[in-house]
Chains A and B, each alone.
Chain A
Amino acid sequence: MSGEDRTSAGLEGALEATAASLGLTIPDACLPGVVANTQLLHGYVELICGMPLPDTCLPAYEYQP
């Protein structure tokens, strides 16, 4: 699903479900801000996941110059 397809209302429901699975309750006052930031992050996720990488490219948890 692209960022454009995600309506705020749909995203709110998805976020609340994910939050509940982690034991987090998003206060009503925070929901618009969390939705806005999630939409921003989804844009970044689409950018990075749009770049295929070879299976041998491993995550960079450590840096050994």
Chain B
Amino acid sequence: MMPMMDLARKIRSGELSAVRVISQTLQSIRERDGAYNAVTRLLDKRALHAAAALDAQISRGDPVGPLAGVPFGVKDLFDLEGLVTTAGSVVLNAQPPAQRDAEVVRRLCAAGAIPVATLNMDEFAYGFATENAHYGTTRNPHDTACLAGGSSGGSAAAVAAGLLPLTLGSDTNGSIRVPASLCGVWGLRPTQGVLPLQGVYPFAASLDVIGPFTRTSADLACAFEVLSGQACRVEQDISALRIGLLDGWFTQDLAPELEAGVNRLLAACRTVRRVTLPEVARVRAASFVITAAEGGALHLDRLKREPMAYDPATRDRLMAGALLPSMPVVHAQRLRSWFREVMHAAFEDVDILVAPATPGAAPRLDQPTITVGGKQVSARANLGLFTQPLSLAGMPVVAAPLAPAAGQAVGLPLGVQLVAAPGREATVLAFAQAMEKAGLLGFPCAGAAPVASAGVAGSHPAG
């Protein structure tokens, strides 16, 4: 599937009909997603109805939005009118269907985009793996023997596989940035509070942020403009930007090819300095504690009534969080205030901070661990090693796939985080687009990649 803005342009001009694009998208998902398990529900009736209405608008010459006819999917924690929002669980199945779309879904639809699917995730977004006891594991489209990452794994994998040009996910500790990195697509965690959370099922409310996944940085900027109402595709001179490379914590256990990719990127920047953030281990610990406490408190009543209905990995973590005393949780939030000031001060000397998104490429499904400090630890719990500290501060972060090294075989994707000062999405997106044009960022779609014999049968109930 072509990138989002190219597709919208062809639909607006009448070169492609929206009904044809949506029909082909639905068919393609049915035919191909069995290998990936990115999609949980298809929205045939709603999508085809919206596409027919759009085609009629275009044939009448009525104005249509910038995303006219663009099919998109949402992580299964965004409300869609008439559907129960599962949040990747079964414990909400008895809840009434949503009465209206989530606000950000409404904004995309108002711009002409058409929702076609809900997407897989870790239960209640608590994990970095998208290994879900109820809906199965989402596989990495670049190698289906590997994890897609999580918790927005379905959102990242659907874009990486070329099933959809645009998806939405959420990011509490790295749930956009980790799967975007492992799947080789673009993701954006905007500044905390910029995008509305109305109609989005919460995880850890004080950390939750939502954002888009796309195949190109230009599409990411366009999606953010529509979602936020902020203009950010203006031409910017990026040559004067001061770039900081995060060292210390953010250099541990790095895959050599990731280090090489970061060095290639920095070599193209005029001004680069090293930046050391203090107390990052404690900052990451604060993220863990806040997440566990807020998530546990949210679910406590249901954990009393039906604990065994939860995914075991989620349930035990939520229960432990619910039983935390209040003092460390408050202290963690105070530490968060302190760290924000540290980050604000860092941005007095640099415009963009660069850090790896994960320590290396996607772990294998049959060996779901990563190395941290020389020890093998759970990938599900620890893939956010580099993302968690940065999201605690609330700054905007672009997850950018590194381009494969010239002349070398294309391996699994690797990603970096491009962090800007609060509200500076336009700057970081301009930098991202310039680096993609320079061939240093951006990863090919997985369509042509070899697919292991996954043996996963796809079955998508229509919603």
- Chain A interface (Cβ < 8 Å from any Cβ of B): 15, 18-19, 22-27, 29-30, 33-34, 36-38, 40-41, 43-45, 47-51, 53, 57-61, 63, 65
Contact = CB atoms under 8 A, between A and B. Distances in A.
B308 A36 contact: no
A10 B83 CA distance: 45
A26 B316 CA distance: 9
A59 B424 CA distance: 24
B334 A41 contact: no
A34 B317 CA distance: 6
Nearest to B308: A27
Contact of A49 (B320, B331, B340): B331
Interface string B273-307: 00000010110011011001000000010011001
Contact of B340 (A29, A34, A43, A60): A60
A61 to B, nearest CB: 6
A48 B320 contact: no
B96 to A, nearest CB: 26
B321 interface: yes
Contacts, number: 111
Contact of A48 (B285, B303, B323): B285
A51 B279 contact: yes
Contacts of B307: 26-27, 30
**Shortest 7 CB-CB distances between A and B: which pairs?**
A65-B422, A33-B316, A59-B333, A37-B320, A44-B285, A60-B336, A47-B285
Contact of B282 (A18, A34, A47, A57): A47
B322 interface: yes
B447 interface: no
Given A24-B303, A57-B338, A65-B191, A51 B282 contact: yes
A58 B337 contact: yes
Given A19-B323, A24-B300, 19 more contacts: A18-B323, A22-B300, A22-B322, A23-B304, A24-B323, A25-B304, A26-B307, A29-B308, A34-B316, A37-B316, A45-B328, A48-B331, A49-B331, A51-B282, A59-B330, A60-B333, A61-B206, A63-B193, A63-B394
Interface string B407-440: 0000000000000011100000000000000000
Nearest to A55: B334
A29 B394 CA distance: 37
B315 interface: yes
A22 B328 contact: no
B292 A48 contact: no
Contact of B281 (A41, A47, A61, A63): A47
